[in-house]
Structures are given as structure tokens and as C-alpha cells.
Amino acid sequence: MESRLVSLPMIDAHHHLWDLAAVHYPWLAERGVARFFGDPTPIQRDYLLPEFRADAAAQGMRASVHIQVGAADALQEARWVEGVSQANPDWPLVQVAFCDLTRADLSDELDRLCALSSLRGLRQIVGRATQEDAKSGTQALLDQPSFVAGLQALGQRGLSFDLQLTPELMGKAAKVFAQAPDTPVALCHAGSPQDRSTEGLAVWRQELAKLAALPQVSVKLSGLGMFDHAWTRQSFAPLVETCLELFGPARCMFGSNFPVDSLYSDYHRLFTTLFELVPPEARQAVFADTAARFYRLDLSA
């Protein structure tokens, strides 16, 4: 591998953990059901910090960001992650929890979540894939004034928002998030470019530019294999290039999306491919600085 040229400890800005005995995840308990990212059977087991940490640390990661992952009780999941964080002070672990920003008692729920020292932001998925969104109705969030008010409340509390959606929703989303300019936004999985044809990537780029125009929005180079299970360096290249061009390195960050992306690759191959696709002069930002700043991770000690 080329010289890394990264002086700060690297950060994995998007991964998951789960203890199936401690927290109930309906989708992990449901057997024989394909998801938009494929067959989840191999990951329907405990995935704990030691396993993740062994893979991540081997590539130079020294801290990470846990992203909520569909627990039946989101507060229970957040408190469990807090416990993991507190029990492992030598591995800085912060989290993005789930919260329905349209709930009537939003302020009270934010009070409960903000009591967790590891909390940095929230995620409420807007779009996964057409077949699942049709069932969940999450796309309707973009039409709800209470969602905008919730986003604004996050900014007032110094919290960020992790945005997961599909390209056809980006134009509408850009108008919504423009109304919450004080809330930092991390666009998960490069905006889920599902159609990897030449035409599909052109549409994705066109729509992605609408979110990139908002200065509070950053993007994650994560989850790129969910719609390209037989991915190669060549198939990832235009995604990385486009994100770097539209957002700049200071608004791009690496995330493994493990263990979901372990369905298509081991951690070493995934990290190495993305690291080598990012130009040397941009690596410090993409693999360290952007995530440290966005998620308020101080690794200087």
C-alpha cells in the first residue's frame, strides 16, 4: 500500500454493533427474509466491539462512530452502546442514535438521549430502497413540518443528523435541510446510488450536487457495496471521485458499514480499496479530520 500520509489516528465513521441477548432487533430475528442489501443470514449473530475492533485496528483505525441499526427500543440500544463506550475507554466510541423527530414529546426524548455522553447525533432513515420504503412510509418525513422542526431542534442542542435516502429524494431533501442550516448533516452511503449504469450514475451525481450545495452537509464513503455485491476498485472509483469533487475532502469521511458490508468483502480489502482511491493529499481529511470534527472526537491524548 502507498504511504498513508495520515498523522492523526484514523476513524471509522460508520459501523454497527449488536448483542442479540441485550437488545432486540426485529430484522435480525427475522429469518429467511432478504433485505435491500441482500441476504442478512451471515450477520444474524452477535457482532461485538472486540470483533469489529480487531478488523478496524489492523488497518489503523483508533476510534469509531456507532450508527443505530433498527432496534425495537431505540433508547435501550443507545444506552447499551453507551455502556460499551464507557467500558472501553481505550477505544473512543461515539454514537448516532435513533429518534423519531416528528414525535410529540421530542424535547423529552432528546433530554433522555443527551444524558448519554457518547451521543453525537441522530439518524432517522428517510429512504433505503424502493421496495422497503413502500412499506415503511419513511419518505413522507420530507413533507412533514414537524420533521423540519425536529431537525432545527437538533441544531439548537448541538447535535448532528445522519441522513440516509435514495437519489430520487435528494432534491426534495435539499429544500428541507436548507431550513435547518445549523444542523450538521452526514449523508450516509454516498446517497445510496442504486443504479450503477452510466445513466444511473449521471442522475445520482446531478441530485447529489443539490445536497452538496448546502455547506452543513458532509458525505460518507460507506455502504458502497450494498448495491454492488461484486464490486471492484473500478466500480467504486466514480463514486469516490464524484463525492470528492462535489463535497471536497473536508466534507468526506470513511465508514466501513460493518458488519453489513462484510457480506461482500473483508475489512482489509474494503479499506485498502477506498484508501487507494482517495488521492494522498486528501487522505488526512477523509480518514481522520472530517470525522473527528463532525463527531467531536478528540484523539490528541
Q: Is residue 19 part of a domain?
A: yes
Whether 118 and 82 have beta carbons less than 8 Å apart is answered as yes
Q: Which residues of the chain fall short of a pLDDT of 70?
A: 1-8, 130-137, 301
Residue 218 dihedral angles phi and psi, to the nearest 5°? -115, 170
Q: Is residue 300 part of a domain?
A: no
pLDDT for position 212: 98
Q: Is residue 5 part of a domain?
A: no
Measured distance CA(208)–CA(254) in Å, rounded: 17
Q: If residue 217 lies in a helix (H) or strand (E), which one and from where to where?
A: strand 217-221
pLDDT for position 60: 94
CATH number at residue 268: 3.20.20.140
Q: Which amino acid is at 34?
A: A
Q: Is residue 92 part of a domain?
A: yes
pLDDT for position 300: 75
Q: What domain count does the chain have?
A: 1
Q: Is residue 260 part of a domain?
A: yes
pTM of the model: 0.95
pLDDT for position 132: 67
Whether 202 and 239 have beta carbons less than 8 Å apart is answered as no
Q: Is residue 281 part of a domain?
A: yes
Cα dihedral sign for 137, 189, 300, 293? Answer: negative
Measured distance CA(299)–CA(301) in Å, rounded: 6
- Which residue, 36, 59, 58, 45, is CA-closest to 17? 45
Whether 229 and 162 have beta carbons less than 8 Å apart is answered as no
Q: Is residue 2 part of a domain?
A: no
Q: Is residue 113 part of a domain?
A: yes
Q: Which three cell numbers stand for residue 126?
A: 428517510
Structural domain for 58, as ranges:
10-294
